[in-house]
Amino acid sequence: MNSLTEFATWRRGVDVVAVDRVLDGSLPYTVLEPEELRYAAKHSAESARSVAKLLGVTEKTVMNWRGAEG
């Protein structure tokens, strides 16, 4: 997986470093804000099932976030 933090640590109120660490599995118990959860789901190259497990949401939720505009 490519690092989300390549160029910035914050993006429109999203702590990209925290999101990246959760997706890497290094901070699986970090509480992300709702916008950070959506950002993680949309920007991860991992499967919806894998991302859902890391974020503590359902696979369907990840698929919905990935399909949403914005």
What does the pLDDT read at residue 9? 74
Sequence spans of domains, the chain: 10-67
User: How close are the terminal C-alpha atoms of the chain, in Å?
Assistant: 23
pLDDT tens digit sequence for 12-53: 778 888 888 888 877 656 778 899 999 999 989 999 999 999
Q: Against a cut of 0.75, is the pTM above it? A: no
- For residues 19 and 17, give the distance between their C-alpha atoms in angstroms, rounded to a whole number: 5
